[in-house]
Amino acid sequence: MLGNLVAHEVTARIARGFDLRGTYGFHDPDRHLRNGTRQRYGGGVAWMPLPVFSLLAMGNYWDIAEGSRVAGDSYLEGELVLHVFY
């Protein structure tokens, strides 16, 4: 069975090395919206003070419509990602 998966991201440069970021994701495992869906709304900031160092802080809200193919409850999550390029 085929499903739908969509992901979008918008980034706005505020200043050199500092960006605002918004994300959206959608997953429907059976393409009929009957058996549950997952949606993710996210927002955060990305900071790159040096070409070899980057920090990303994001908050995400997962909107879960439970069904026979999707289990769970809606929830908030935070993520902090540190990149060191060498």
Cα separation of 64 and 49, whole Å?
A: 36
Cα gap 76→61, rounded to integer Å: 5
Say if residues 42 and 58 touch (Cβ distance below 8 Å): yes
Model's pTM, two decimal places? Answer: 0.84
Q: Report helix, strand or coil for 86.
A: coil
| CB-neighbour burial class of residue 28 (10 A; exposed 0-12, middle 13-18, buried 19+) | buried
pLDDT tens track for 33-65: 888 999 999 999 999 999 999 999 999 999 999
What's the average model confidence in pLDDT over 56-76? 95
